[in-house]
Structure 1
């Protein structure tokens, strides 16, 4: 089960802090997502486990306040908000602590950091985010459509080559890609809100 299919019964069971099975299920379902989320938000790799632990604690403290808002993915939006708030607090605390340090070593380190990420870093981030979102919606599409999408968009193979291989028309590949990309964009927007 992916986190996009969180059962309401699991969320209700999480409200009982003593329900270890529910929390284990939740951690199995969401830990990797929370780790990727923290990394994407700029948490240094050495702190990701601690930040994820803090996110889980924040969820435990505030799960009683979660109420469905009647829209799709309301729990995921709430979860992303809780996670984002924990990351912001962590990053703010880290900046304050870092501002007290100084010396030649720190100056050398700062001068070696690029002012903005380079195009390759941005492209790798965007690619990773798209691949993650694609995996979240994969089960919503038939295998042929998914294979055509993956081969042409993610692997970069030509539409004509993939159409011949899968014995489908290039037009059906373009239609499938369009539907899948629209759903992936929607998934990404839900996470970023």
Structure 2
């Protein structure tokens, strides 16, 4: 998944949409934490940095304008990287060699690896959020047929449902997924 929902971004820019922020935090916090930890920060520092990023986002997202062909995630990386730099500067009374900070200055290769980890984590979070929107039997049928790529007849037999229930589950979940992701901006 290489996208960020424009609808969610619009909701975050609006006046205090708690549900949107809850969803955003659930989707992005683990990815940001992983990215920050990947740059060598300890657990406590990484958790503080992620909170600092969210605090900055609360302030900056109302001004954020998505530009066609732009990338929200690249902007998010920039905000996060800047928070990491600020943190290092604040805590730099001991002489730290500049090469130790090289990953924070450019780090394209590290960012590529982290971006892939971030996408995997974001996809995991999106599916976890969507899963709660469906009855367990519907989700299991969808998952077995679409994700595990089992034939509908086999899923029906294994779950004790008819084949049309499998197809209906697939259709319902994919429709909901398309609805959720229909207005996505390519990152």
* TM-score normalised by structure 2 residue count: 0.51
Whole-angstrom distance in 1 between the partners of 2:122 and 2:29: 18
C-alpha deviations, 1:48-98, integer Å up to 9, x for none?
1111000000111111221122115x11111111111111101111113x4
Task: Name the structure 2 match of 1:49.
Answer: 47
Q: How many angstroms does 1:134 deviate by? A: 7.3
Matched, 1:8 2:10: no
Deviation, structure 1 residue 36:
1.0
1:29 correspondence with 2:14: no
How far did 1:135 drift?
Answer: 3.1
1:82 alignment partner in structure 2: 79
Alpha-carbon distance in 1 for matches of 2:9, 2:64: 9
The structure-2 alpha-carbon separation of the partners of 1:85 and 1:5, relative to structure 1 and needing over 3 Å to count, comes to: same
8 Å contact kept, 1:66–1:78: no
**How far apart are the structure 2 equivalents of 1:130 and 1:61?**
24
Q: Provide closer, same or farther for how the CA distance between residues 17 and 35 of structure 1 changes in structure 2, counting only shifts above 3 A.
A: farther
With a CA cutoff of 8 Å and minimum separation of 6, indicate the structure with the bigger relative contact order: 2
Structure 1 residue 47: Cα displacement: 1.2
Alpha-carbon separation, structure 1, partners of 2:18 and 2:122: 29
Aligned counterpart for 1:67 among listed residues 65, 68, 93 = 65
Cα distance in 2 for partners of 1:71, 1:89 equals 29
Query: Any unmatched runs of 5+ in structure 2?
Result: 101-109, 125-186
* Aligned residues of 1:13 and 1:19 also touching (Cα < 8 A): yes
Distance across 2 between alignment mates of 1:42 and 1:80: 16
Q: TM-score, normalised by structure 1?
A: 0.49
Distance 1:59 1:18, change over 3 A: same
The alignment covers a number of residue pairs equal to 115
- In structure 1, distance between residues paired with 2:9 and 2:119: 24
Structure 2 vs 1, CA of residues 34 and 15 (structure 1 numbering), >3 Å: closer, same or farther? same
Matched, 1:135 2:132: no
Secondary structure of 1:95's counterpart equals: coil
Provide the secondary structure at the position in 1 that maps to 2:69. coil
For residues 40 and 32 of structure 2, the distance between their equivalents in structure 1, rounded to whole angstroms, comes to: 13
- Seen in structure 2, the aligned counterparts of structure 1 residues 137 and 26 have a Cα distance that, compared at 3 Å, is closer
